[in-house]
Chain A
Amino acid sequence: MKVGTIALNTFKEAKRDRVLYLLFFFAAVCIVFSRVLAILTVGDRVKIIKDVGLASVSLFGVLMAILMGTGLVYKEIDKKTIFTLLSKPIHRAQFILGKYLGLALTLFIMTVLMAVIFLAVLFFHTFKVEWPMLTAILFIFLELMLITAVAILFSTFSTPILSSIFSLSFYLIGHLSWGLETLIKKMKPGTGRTLARALYTFLPDLENFNFKTEVVHGLPIPPKIFVYSTLYGVFYAAFVLGLAVWVFRKRDFI
């Protein structure tokens, strides 16, 4: 499979990234910071470790996705390795898809490693494996997949710095969706509100992938949301990647 070839190659390239150092940094931060906070708090110490741990997985995951994703396509174009690649009989869409899957694989492994460290740290406190945490982590991974797609999209036409800023903005907008919702509730009905509603539905809602609170507090999660959230992620990522292919198809590589 041509896509598979490119994906594997991308994975090889990505794993050489200093990401490994980031991973160990994460582990150290996770452990030290949560222990420090645990000492300061009164009451349920484990909750802090869970909160900090999940937040770290999420935060570092997002950083990895953005930093690696924005450089990926740009580097190929800048370093001109793309010339030999695209002159072969492959569709440009296969190239984009291959890059995406390669990065997805890398992030998957990174997430698994972080999850293992996190569960290990938790284990030292509760002496049991906190499996429910994995639900939250799974959906964090889904969120990362979407952000990766966005990073790649920007990488097809923009420099890494700008792409990173745009991707970060996507992430922020995705988590502030509720703000727009609140605003819409206060608006008077009319074209303004209809437009705002359309915008609200179109803009990403990354809270759909956020199950941290439920998992930490042990709250019940309606099973329907698992299905819908996953599908939401899949469709949105497909849309973003489609856009990336669209941009990429027309492009002249000077």
Chain B
Amino acid sequence: MPIRIAAKRISGTFLLGLFLLAACAGFMGLKLETDKILRKKIPGSSIIYVPSGKFLKYATFGYSGLAADLIYLWAIQYYSTYEIADRFTYLDHIFAIIAELDPRYTDPYEVGSMIAGQEARDIPLALRILDRGFAKNPDMWLFPFEAGHIAQRQLKDFDLARKYYEKAMVLPGAPDFTKRLYANAAFKVTDFKTSWETWLEVYNTATDDRVKKIASNHLYQVKAEMDIDALKEAIGKFRDRFGRFPADLSRLERLGIMPSLPKDLDGKDYIYDPATGDVKPPAVWWKR
């Protein structure tokens, strides 16, 4: 008798074990099936109802950093879901919230501006996001640095770029070539003097030959442009007086229009075409 009871209990346990295995296999299999089915997701889009503002940080009861992380993680998912056509509507809002919750979290500023710039094609927004980042993190050279790039590359606004680079290059940690970029941008805005000075500094403080060479090339270019501008101005004056282009550049010096003929950084003469009045540097600046 006792054996039968024990046997019944064991068989009961065995059956229960089988049942558990079957149920487990069942739901795991079904999980694999449901994963295959693609569903239209606009996950967590109710974030839009979260009003931004100072109080938001306190509303998260001390977990604002975590909240920022989670919202940022969600945002990455959200913005990689290309099926959502109007996903950029709240781009500023969302990244403003993240900034509010954790102002020192740098990734979102960069990513936000990248999304704004490259995907939403809203450059002012991209810059705004970076400005925000810089306002909250005035010690981060990265923000104005990137802003400068955006201004330069996408807006072709060299003046703006120059302003950004100016901010960036004095911050600790900024790479050396920030100065180069500043100089370059300054150059494009025809502020030759600043450009020259900056490249000179880069040249003098350069720790390796490559940087020195690049600086020297830039210096050459700046000088060339300056010189060519001066020459062209002089040629213009000549033309006004005599109604034609001078036969060669030495005329300008002899007639006193120019005190002396400038030479390029290597000490060579500029190439002049009397037929068109065009002046060119003897060397290609980036091939020197």
Contacts and interface: CB of A to CB of B under 8 A. Distances in A.
How many chain A residues sit at the interface, stated as a range, is 35 or more
Nearest to A223: B37
A205 interface: yes
Interface string A207-230: 010000110010111101100110
Contacts of A205: 31, 34
Contact of A232 (B12, B13, B16, B34): B34
Interface residues of B, number: 29
Contact of B20 (A217, A222, A239): A239
Contacts of B51: 40
A202 B31 CA distance: 8
A55 B46 CA distance: 10
B19 interface: yes
Given A242-B16, A242-B19, A246-B16, A232 B27 contact: yes
B20 A243 contact: yes
A29 interface: no
B40 A236 contact: no
Contact of B34 (A179, A214, A225): A225
A235 B20 CA distance: 10
Given A213-B42, A239-B23, A242-B23, A202 B28 contact: yes
A222 B27 contact: no
Contacts of A246: 16-17, 20
Given A205-B31, A232-B31, A224 B37 contact: yes
B34 A51 contact: no
A51 B46 contact: yes
Contacts of B49: 37, 41, 48, 51
A222 B46 contact: no
Contacts of B32: 201
A179 B38 CA distance: 17
Nearest to A41: B49
Determine which residue in A213, A219, A222, A229 has the highest number of CB atoms from chain B within 10 A of its CB, and name it.
Answer: A213
Given A220-B40, A225-B39, A228-B37, 14 more contacts: A40-B51, A48-B49, A201-B32, A202-B24, A219-B40, A222-B39, A228-B30, A228-B33, A232-B31, A238-B26, A239-B24, A242-B19, A242-B23, A246-B17
Interface of A: 37, 40-41, 48, 51, 55, 178-179, 182, 201-202, 205, 208, 213-214, 217, 219-222, 224-225, 228-229, 231-232, 235-236, 238-239, 242-243, 245-246, 249
